[in-house]
Amino acid sequence: MISSERMAAVDANAAALGVPSKQLMESSGNAVARAVRSASDPGDAVALVCGRGNNGGDAFVAARFLADRDVTVHLLGRPESIGTAIARENWEALHAAEIPSETVADSADFDLGSPAVVVDAVLGTGVSGTLREPARTAVEEINASGGRGGESGGDGAIVIAVDVPSGVDADTGEPTGGDGAVAVDADRVVTFHDAKPGLERLEADVTVADIGIPAAAERYTGPGDLLGLGRSPDSHKGENGEVLVVGGGPYTGAPSLSARAALRAGADLARVACPASVADEIQGYSADLIVRPLPGESLGPDHFDRVAELAADQDVVVIGPGMGNAEASLEFVRRFLADFSGRAVVDADALRVVPEVETDAELICTPHQGELRGMGGETAADPNERAELVRAFAAEVGHTLLVKGRYDVIASDDGETVRQNRTGNPGMTVGGTGDVLAGTVGALAAQTDPRTAQTDPRTTQTDRNAARTDPFQAAAAGAYVNGLAGDAAAEANGHGLVATDLIDRLPDALYDE
Ligand SMILES: NC(=O)C1=CN([C@@H]2O[C@H](COP(=O)(O)OP(=O)(O)OC[C@H]3O[C@@H](n4cnc5c(N)ncnc54)[C@H](O)[C@@H]3O)[C@@H](O)[C@H]2O)[C@H](O)CC1
Ligand SMILES: [K+]
C-alpha cells in the first residue's frame, strides 16, 4: 500500500536510479492496453479520454499498443497546453503513428460515441479540488457511457480507469471536490506499482501493474525523500525552525558542529546550551550561534529547570553532542527527557538513557552500531538483516531510529517503515560527522510541513509537532543529505575530509538536486 506523496518520492528516486518517468509511462501504457484487450475483442471501438497531464500520457502510450482495436484518442484541451514533456512526446508519437485523435476544445462538443471500452485518463494523482471544465463534462460523459454508473444500467461501455478514477483521491477514495462531487465511477482500475489506500474503498475491480520501478527506489533514500522539505517563500524568521543543542563540557567541537549544521540545513536560529566553562570557546568558533551558558563544567541535574525553560520555545532539541558520560550528566538527560513533550534528536552519550525513560517526547535517536548495542539493540553484518533488527528495535523503544553505518538504517517509531541510506563514504568515519548529522536532522525535523502548517500561536506542543515534517522523513532526508555532503567533501579532500567540510556542503546537497 502506498500514499500518493510516497509514490511521487519513489518516482523521483527511480529516475535517479536511471529509470526515468518516460520509461515508466511506457510500462503504464502497456499495462492499460493489456486491460483493454482483456475487456474487448479485436476490432472493437475503444475511446481513450485523456487529460493534459501524465495520466493522459499513459493513455497516449496505451493507444500505440492497441493497433487491432478501433481506437480514438480524445484530448481534453489544446495540444500546446499538454503539461509535461513526456506526455507531449507521447502525443506527438501518436500523430506520427497516424492513430486517430481529436482535441476537445469546448466541452459542449464532446462526443464519446458508443465504444465497447472507455479508458478514463482524464486525471490521475495530480488532481486537486473540484473538477474544472472540460474535465467535468468529460467525466459525466464517461459515467453516462456505461459501467455501473451509466444510464444504460451496466450494459454500456466498460470503463477502465488509468491509475485512479478521475476525480477520486487515491489516498482516501473520496471525490477530490468534496462529498458528492463528480468523479468517474469505473468498472476497473489499473493502478501502478502498488495498491493505493483509497482504491480499496471503491467498488471497482482494481489491479496493480508492475511498471518496472526498481525495489531500490523504495528501499533506499533518494532525491524523492527531499520532496516536501522546501521552505515556504513567504516564511519569516523562526518559521523554518529554531533548534537548541544541549551538550558540551568535556568536548566543545561536537555541539558547535551540530548547531552550525542545523543552520546550514535551514534552521533560522541555532542555540547552544552548554556548561559555562566551554561557552566562550563554542561562541568563539562561530558568530552565527546563540550560546546559553549553564553554571559549571559539565551538564548535571541542577541545569534541568533552565534547560527545560529554554527548550519550551524550541522546535527541536538536539541533546547529547559532546556532553560526555558522567553519571550526573546522564541523570540530567533522564530528568529532561522524562519531562519533555516536544521533539528531540538524541545523540552520543545521551542515547543510553533512552530505553530507561518514559517520555511523551517525540525522539529521533541517531546511534552508530556501538551506541545501538549500548541501548540494548542488536546489529548484523548483512544490511537487510540489520534493517529488520533496527525496525523491530524502533517498535520496541517507540522512537524513530537512525542507525549510522556504511548503509544507514532509518526506522519509524511504530516499526512500520524502514529505509536504508547508501550515500556517504569511508572518509566520513572521521570524528564529528555524526554531530553534523544530528544537527542536520534537528533542522529538518524543525521545519514546518507546508501542507499541514499551523500558525495559531495557541496551539499545543502536540499540535506543533504534528505540523512539522514527519520525524521519520526528517531522519531519512538528513541521512541522505549528510552522505551527499560527505561525498562532495570527499571529492574535494579525499579521505582527508573533516566534519566542517560537510557543513558547508549541506545547502547544495539539500537544495541543488
Ligand atoms: N510512477 C508512476 O506512478 C507514474 C505515473 N504516471 C501517471 O502520472 C499520473 C500523474 O500525473 P500528473 O501529471 O502528476 O497529474 P495528472 O495527469 O493526474 O493531472 C494533472 C493535470 O490535471 C490538471 N488538474 C488538476 N486538478 C484539476 C481539476 N480539479 N480539474 C481539472 N483539471 C485539473 C492539472 O492542471 C494538470 O494539467 C499518475 O496518476 C499516473 O497515471 C506516469 O505514467 C509516470 C509513472
Ligand atoms: K484516471
- Nearest ligand to the CA of 135 is 1
- The answer to whether the beta carbons of residues 303 and 323 sit under 8 Å apart is no
pLDDT, one tens digit per residue, over 188-210 is: 999 999 999 999 999 999 999 99
Burial of residue 127 (CB within 10 Å: 0-12, 13-18, 19+) is: buried
CA of 55 to the centre of ligand 2 (A): 6
Distances (CA, A) of 111 to 42, 108, 383: 22, 9, 56
Confidence class for position 468, pLDDT limits 50, 70, 90: confident
Tell me the whole-structure pTM to 2 decimals: 0.91
pLDDT, one tens digit per residue, over 393-442 is: 999 999 999 999 999 999 999 999 999 999 999 999 999 999 999 999 99
Mean pLDDT of 141-156: 69
Task: Please give the tally of structural domains in the chain.
Answer: 2
Where does a domain end: 189, 219, 249?
219
Burial 190-212 (b: 16+ CB within 10 A, else e): bbbbeebebbeebebebebbebe
Decide if the complex's ipTM is over 0.85. yes
Quick one: 254 and 183 in the same domain?
Answer: no
Q: Which residues are annotated as a binding site?
A: 54-58, 120, 124-130, 163, 166, 254, 322, 368, 434-435
For the Cβ of 53 lying below 6 angstroms from any atom of ligand 1, the answer is yes
Q: Which residues are annotated as a binding site for K(+)?
A: 55, 120, 166
Quickly tell me which residue has 541510506 as its cell: 421
Quick one: 201 and 317 in the same domain?
Answer: no
Quick one: 248 and 210 in the same domain?
Answer: no
CA of 174 to the centre of ligand 2 (A): 14
Quickly tell me which residue has 559555562 as its cell: 276
Quick one: 237 and 166 in the same domain?
Answer: no
25, 52, 82, 123, best to mutate for ligand 1 pocket (most atoms within 8 Å of CB) = 123
Confidence class for position 228, pLDDT limits 50, 70, 90: confident
Amino acid 329: pLDDT? 98
For the Cβ of 123 lying below 6 angstroms from any atom of ligand 1, the answer is yes
Q: Per DSSP, which regions of 248-339 are E strands?
A: 269-275, 290-294, 316-319
Q: Which domain holds residue 193?
A: 4-219
Amino acid 435: pLDDT? 98
Amino acid 105: pLDDT? 86
Whether the per-residue pLDDT at 289 is higher than 50: the answer is yes
Closest C-alpha residue for ligand 1 atom 29? 131
Whether the per-residue pLDDT at 237 is higher than 60: the answer is no
Return the C-alpha cell found at 2. Answer: 502506498
Average pLDDT, the chain: 93
Query: The domain that contains 439 carries what CATH number?
Result: 3.40.1190.20
The bridge status of strand 418-421 relative to strand 343-346 is unpaired
| Collapsed DSSP state (helix, strand, coil) of residue 383 | helix
- Residue 224 falls inside a structural domain: no
Atom of ligand 1 nearest to the CA of 135: 31
% the chain with pLDDT above 90: 88
What strands lie across the sheet with 408-411, from one edge to the other?
290-294, 269-275, 242-246, 316-319, 343-346, 362-365, 400-403, 408-411, 418-421
Amino acid 233: pLDDT? 54
Where does a domain end: 197, 219, 241?
219
The bridge status of strand 418-421 relative to strand 408-411 is antiparallel
- The answer to whether the beta carbons of residues 73 and 94 sit under 8 Å apart is yes
**Dihedral (CA of 14, 15, 17, 22) sign:** positive
Whether the per-residue pLDDT at 455 is higher than 90: the answer is no
CA of 220 to the centre of ligand 1 (A): 25
Mean pLDDT of 322-337: 98
Quick one: 210 and 261 in the same domain?
Answer: no
- The answer to whether the beta carbons of residues 146 and 106 sit under 8 Å apart is no
Q: What span, in angstroms and rounded, lies between the C-alpha atoms of 297 and 286? A: 20
Quick one: 30 and 163 in the same domain?
Answer: yes
Quick one: 189 and 264 in the same domain?
Answer: no
CA of 161 to the centre of ligand 2 (A): 5
Quick one: 392 and 320 in the same domain?
Answer: yes
Whether the per-residue pLDDT at 229 is higher than 70: the answer is yes
Closest C-alpha residue for ligand 1 atom 41? 55
For the Cβ of 128 lying below 6 angstroms from any atom of ligand 1, the answer is yes
- Nearest ligand to the CA of 188 is 2
pLDDT, one tens digit per residue, over 353-383 is: 999 999 999 999 999 999 999 999 999 999 9
Task: End-to-end CA distance of the chain: give it in Å, rounded.
Answer: 28
For the Cβ of 127 lying below 6 angstroms from any atom of ligand 1, the answer is yes
Phi, psi of 414 (to 5 degrees): -95, 0
Amino acid 150: pLDDT? 46
CA dihedral 23, 31, 200, 215 (to 10 degrees): -40
- The answer to whether the beta carbons of residues 109 and 147 sit under 8 Å apart is no
Closest C-alpha residue for ligand 1 atom 11? 54
Whether the per-residue pLDDT at 149 is higher than 50: the answer is no
Quick one: 486 and 351 in the same domain?
Answer: yes
Q: What span, in angstroms and rounded, lies between the C-alpha atoms of 345 and 414? A: 17
Atom of ligand 1 nearest to the CA of 87: 13
Return the C-alpha cell found at 209. Answer: 501493474
- Residue 184 falls inside a structural domain: yes
- CB-side exposure of 38: number of CA atoms within 13 Å? 9
Closest C-alpha residue for ligand 1 atom 16? 126
Whether the per-residue pLDDT at 236 is higher than 90: the answer is no
Amino acid 496: pLDDT? 94
Quickly tell me which residue has 450494459 as its cell: 155
Atom of ligand 1 nearest to the CA of 8: 1
Quick one: 90 and 149 in the same domain?
Answer: yes
pLDDT, one tens digit per residue, over 62-111 is: 999 999 999 999 999 999 999 999 999 999 999 999 999 999 988 888 88
For the Cβ of 132 lying below 6 angstroms from any atom of ligand 1, the answer is yes
Segment (H or E) for 337: helix 327-339
- Residue 228 falls inside a structural domain: no
Quick one: 138 and 84 in the same domain?
Answer: yes
Whether the per-residue pLDDT at 448 is higher than 80: the answer is no
Query: The domain that contains 36 carries what CATH number?
Result: 3.40.50.10260
Quick one: 257 and 320 in the same domain?
Answer: yes
Whether the per-residue pLDDT at 281 is higher than 70: the answer is yes
- Residue 440 falls inside a structural domain: yes
Amino acid 151: pLDDT? 45
Return the C-alpha cell found at 417. Answer: 517503515
- Residue 225 falls inside a structural domain: no
Q: Which residues are annotated as a binding site for AMP?
A: 434
